Amino acid sequence: MPTWPCQLFIDGVWSDSHSGRTWSVTNPATGKELANVALADAMDVDRAVEAARRAFDEGEWARMDPLKRGRLLFRLAERIRENMADLAMTDTLNVGKPIRDTMGFDVPCAADLFESYAGLPDKISGKCFGNLADNVTLQIREPMGVIAAIVPWNFPLTNAAIKLAPILACGNTVVLKPSEVSPLSALMLAKLAAEVGFPPGVINVIHGTGHEAGAALVKHPGVDKITFTGRHQTGARMLEAAQVGMKGVMLELGGKTPSIVFPDAPLDNVINGVITGIFYNLGQVCVAGSRLLIHESQHDDLLERIVAKVRSLRQGDPTDPDMQLGCLATPAHCDTVRKCVQQAEQEGARCVLTGNRPVDPLDCFYPPTVFDQVTAGMTVAREEVFGPVLSVMTYRDEAEAVRMANDSEFGLMANIWTSDGTRALRVARQIRAGRIAINGGGALRANVPVFGYKLSGIGAELGFDEAVHEYCSSKAILYSLATEKSGWPE
């Protein structure tokens, strides 16, 4: 069993919360308590922001040799790999994700992100505009300042790395607030960062609720930018909070990913891709492929094969390496998914697959569920369920498939399955989403930015040029070469 820091990490020091309050972190698979973690309030937020502000304004981090900054990021990547087993088990116990997934993706991905961004610091450059005979103008890129990073519970360690790696590579300091549901791996990450030599105040991790610690953090005048991943309703409140100090905002919000399957697609690949897209992590993924658009000519055959494959999935104890499915992250979220399913049934969707739905309010093991005959006006087709619920819809031709895919307030991702490369690119150009995966090419990479259309976000997550744009400030320096004074006001 891993051991976890249970205090706040501020200015390189572990400390209790100002109020002395704690929060019980539980294992959703068993309902048992894992730890009691210090619960931050506005006073703790103030301490954390002041520490980050001091480290940025007076410390060495923003002025450090970029290669040295990169080496620290690389060392952190190595320490993550050295502690892979404990970090993986931590997120498995904390949010009910299968150990095969936390070991196979979450922790390796977090390490890869830090390693990849370790090469960025000395590549950040500006421009020179020297086309005027009497003037040279320089564009200088500089670290932005103190970044408030707020992440959700579905990929605790990976989400923390997605934020911290580019923020730190660009020379900023950060206050990270993990979800109150899943703070343990973020606190472990802070411990590893201190061990490899990150200066005090560069990384601060506070644990608290959104309405208290989160609200105080995003409104704090010492914060230069907010970066948030989560629900679009919360993202809207971030925009309101950013008015204090006119902060920058980067939002990666919800999705309602369509997966369009054309008749010429390789069905064996499609079946695995569709099942992975919606049932991996029980659908608790912002890009979960929750809307499956099937051509009417192949509807019956494809749906039958998908249902048969889903029936074979093994769901149970998340710490068992043989389990492909674990449980949902909290009883409250399980109840939300249950209500979404009930509403879909009431609105006329036909449930073609489900399992033993939890009756005990503390039971988070919700089964994979598939609905057929879903129409665009149904709630299950429009709102993000964030659970293991697949909505199957039928189209007649390419134009209708595109129209159905775009009939959503979200635009985070879309999947296209076809053997026709021209059609794949033609449809990709028409779909209003920030990330298009063709035939399963949707892997998360540090160098590939994540964009959001419509309610799915503002700005770009990841990427190298995009990270520099999001987390560096630019200034123009105008250097006059003129030897004569201005004619005005003489």
| Residues known to be catalytic | 252, 286
Distance (Å, rounded) from C-alpha 432 to C-alpha 453? 7
Of 50, 335, 384, 23, the closest CA to residue 210 belongs to 23
Answer yes or no: are the C-beta atoms of 257 and 415 closer than 8 Å: yes
322, HSE (Cβ side, Cα atoms, 13 Å): 3
What is residue 226's DSSP assignment?
A: E
Q: Which residues contact 490 (CB under 8 A, 6 or more apart)?
A: none
Distance (Å, rounded) from C-alpha 474 to C-alpha 458? 19
Strand locations in 102-244 (E): 127-132, 135-143, 146-150, 173-177, 203-205, 225-229
Distance (Å, rounded) from C-alpha 183 to C-alpha 206? 9
The H or E element spanning position 414 is strand 414-417
How open is the CA angle 4-219-242, to the nearest 5 degrees? 115
Distance (Å, rounded) from C-alpha 392 to C-alpha 259? 10
Strand locations in 326-377 (E): 350-353, 369-372
CB under 8 A, 24+ apart: contacts of 15-21: 17/41, 17/44, 17/208, 18/43, 18/44, 18/47, 19/43
Distance (Å, rounded) from C-alpha 192 to C-alpha 462? 22
Answer yes or no: are the C-beta atoms of 402 and 430 closer than 8 Å: yes
Q: Which residues contact 424 (CB under 8 A, 6 or more apart)?
A: 416, 418, 438, 439
DSSP of 1-42: ------SEEETTEEE--SS--EEEEE-TTT--EEEEEE---H
How open is the CA angle 109-177-50, to the nearest 5 degrees? 125
